[in-house]
Structures are given as structure tokens and as C-alpha cells.
């Protein structure tokens, strides 16, 4: 009889452990906004999200739109906004070139060199017709980097004081979604009121095209992620309310889909902080 009881108890323990392992949804703190958060998770998962292992070339020569650019390496950019590391180069004329470190392809160029800042204020504002032509040209050039058909577009207009004159910059931003999920894949072109193209840029354009990623997202469980988010916050604060400010997909170095959630947390009396939380999509599926 005692053996039966012990056997039954062990079975219950094993089943409980097994179920808890099956239901475990790992969510990691990858960034925070101030000292209200006690720590950043230093797991291997978090470390590899923004790590990169490649040796960029010290100098490159790139042909773009009929112009040959010779440039020297400046730095590598890798954070939670770009799945592929980006090598940044400065050309002999001080234009900035962006190279995808995964495939060594040119993915963007910024023309705002010292000469641009020195001369731009001396040009007259372009006519509406000229502005439209520049816009079409910028769109065509950006389309040489990426097919923009399935991207959502947002237009941004800003003014900047250059040499005592306010110049208007027009930026068209394209963001890729899979169903309702925003991804790190994006593109943009910028031109100004003087009728000049300022920047072209596209990143992570091929990262989310595989069918398996889309299949995995169809099994995503929002409630499971919500429970994990609230559990993670409760480890830091006893009483709180929170708002999700941004949520998007990211792909790690192994090609696994990651969901990153930026939350604003209200705790205590008029105290606010923020968290960026990351976890594998596969951990939050049905």
C-alpha cells in the first residue's frame, strides 16, 4: 500500500514537472529606461540577440546609380531594430554607405556630407513639379533595393535649420507586416525642399519571407504572451499598471522569430519606467 502511495505521488510530481516545462514561456528583459528596473537579463539568449561575428572589410568600392564610391569602414550597427548587422562606411566625399553584413550588399546611402550642409541653404526652394520628380526618382532608386509592394507607408515631414534657413525634409517610410505583426524589415527615402535626394535606406528586407515563419505566427497565442508580460513585470513591482507602446518581430542569429514588446509601466505615485521584453515566438504558440 505504501509503495502504491509513493508511486502515485511520484507520478503526480513527474506530471506536474512535465506540464510546467511544457507551459513555460521564457520572456527576457533586454532593455529598460531607468533605475526603476533592478537588472537586465544576462542570459545567452539575450546576448546573442545583438551579437555578430564577422570581420568587415576596411575599405570597399561600390557602384550605385552609375557612381563609383570608395569608402572606409567606420562602425557596425547591431541592435533590436535590425536583425542583420549593418556595416557603416564613409566615402571619400563623406557620404555614408550602409552595407548588410550578412550578404555584403549595399542597402543604403546618405548624401548629407559637409558639402551638403555648406551649400544646401544657397539653393532656391524647388517647384512643386520638381519636388514631385525628385520624389519619383527616390522611389525608383529605393525600389532597386526592395520590392515595396507589400509594405505599409507613412509620410513624415520635418524642418531643420541649416545655415540660418529652415529646410523641409520629406521622408517616406515603408514598414513590412506579416498579418498584424510589424517586423524590423523597413525602407525609406528622404528628399528636401531644395529638390535633392538626402537618403535611401532598406534593412532586413529578406528576413521574414519564409513560409515557416508565417505558419508559426498563425499559431501565436496573445493571451500566453500577456500572462508572461504581466508575470515579468510583477517580478519587479508589486503594484503597477502598464501599456504596450510597441510590439514587433525580430529574427535572431539562428533565424528564430523573436517578439519584442516595449511597455510603459506606472508604479508607485506618479512614477513611470519602461521595459523591452523579448521571447521566442515558438514559446507563445498554441
Per-residue model confidence (pLDDT) at position 2: 41
For the segment 92-116, the average pLDDT, to the nearest whole number, is 93
Checking if the pLDDT of 4 tops 50, the result is no
Is residue 1 pLDDT above 60, yes or no? no
- Indicate if 157 and 237 belong to the same structural domain: no
C-alpha cell at 160: 531643420
The pLDDT of residue 181 is: 87
Q: Looking at the structure, do residues 122 and 248 belong to the same domain, yes or no?
A: no
**All cell numbers assigned to 104:** 555584403
The more confidently predicted of residues 208 and 172 is 172
pLDDT at residue 35 tops 70:
no
Same domain, yes or no: 276 and 250: yes
Q: Higher-confidence residue: 22 or 82?
A: 82
Domain identity same for 162 and 239: no
Asked if residue 91 belongs to a domain, the reply is yes
**262: containing domain:** 25-48+213-284
pLDDT band of 73, cuts 50, 70, 90 = very high
**How far apart are alpha carbons 41 and 31 in whole angstroms?**
9
Predicted confidence (pLDDT) at residue 39 exceeds the cutoff of 60: no
- Looking at the structure, tell me whether residues 144 and 251 fall in a common domain: no
**Looking at the structure, do residues 265 and 221 belong to the same domain, yes or no?**
yes
Judgement on whether residues 41 and 63 belong to the same structural domain of the protein: no
For residue 14, tell me if it sits in a domain.
no
Mean pLDDT of the chain: 84
Of 209, 234, 266, the domain-final residue? 209
In a domain, 16, yes or no: no
**How large is the average pLDDT for residues 98-124?**
87
- Same domain? For 129 and 234 the reply is no
In a domain, 268, yes or no: yes
Of 209, 228, 263, which residue sits at a domain end? 209
On whether both 76 and 183 belong to a single domain, the answer is: yes
Co-location of 68 and 123 in the same domain:
yes
pLDDT of residue 199: 97
pTM score: 0.83
Domain tally for the chain? 2
Mean pLDDT of 25-31: 80
Residue 58 has pLDDT above 90, yes or no: yes
Amino acid at each position: 500500500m505504501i509503495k502504491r502511495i509513493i508511486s502515485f505521488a511520484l507520478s503526480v510530481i513527474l506530471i506536474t514537472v512535465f506540464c510546467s516545462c511544457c507551459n513555460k514561456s521564457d520572456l527576457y528583459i533586454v532593455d529598460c529606461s531607468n533605475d526603476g528596473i533592478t537588472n537586465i537579463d544576462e542570459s545567452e539568449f539575450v546576448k546573442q540577440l545583438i551579437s555578430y561575428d564577422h570581420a568587415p572589410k576596411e575599405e570597399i568600392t561600390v557602384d550605385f546609380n552609375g557612381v563609383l564610391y570608395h569608402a572606409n569602414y567606420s562602425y557596425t550597427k547591431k541592435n533590436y531594430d535590425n536583425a542583420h548587422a549593418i556595416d557603416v562606411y564613409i566615402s571619400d566625399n563623406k557620404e555614408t554607405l550602409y552595407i548588410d553584413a550578412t550578404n555584403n550588399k549595399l542597402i543604403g546611402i546618405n548624401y548629407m556630407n559637409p558639402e551638403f550642409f555648406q551649400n544646401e541653404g544657397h539653393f532656391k526652394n524647388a517647384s512643386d513639379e520638381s519636388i514631385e520628380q525628385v520624389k519619383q526618382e527616390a522611389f525608383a532608386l529605393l525600389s532597386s533595393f526592395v520590392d515595396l509592394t507589400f509594405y505599409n507607408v507613412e509620410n513624415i515631414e520635418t524642418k531643420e535649420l541649416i545655415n540660418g534657413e529652415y529646410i523641409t525634409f520629406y521622408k517616406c517610410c515603408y514598414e513590412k507586416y506579416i498579418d498584424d505583426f510589424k517586423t524590423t524589415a523597413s525602407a525609406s527615402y528622404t528628399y528636401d525642399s531644395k529638390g535633392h535626394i538626402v537618403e535611401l535606406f532598406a534593412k532586413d528586407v529578406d528576413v521574414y519571407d519564409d513560409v515557416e515563419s508565417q505558419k508559426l505566427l498563425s499559431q501565436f497565442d496573445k493571451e500566453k504572451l500577456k500572462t508572461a508580460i504581466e508575470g515579468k513585470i510583477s517580478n519587479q513591482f508589486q503594484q503597477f499598471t502598464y501599456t504596450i507602446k510597441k510590439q514587433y518581430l525580430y529574427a535572431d542569429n539562428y533565424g528564430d522569430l523573436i517578439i519584442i514588446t516595449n511597455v510603459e509601466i506606472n508604479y508607485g505615485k506618479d512614477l513611470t519606467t519602461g521595459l523591452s521584453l523579448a521571447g521566442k515566438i515558438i514559446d507563445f504558440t498554441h
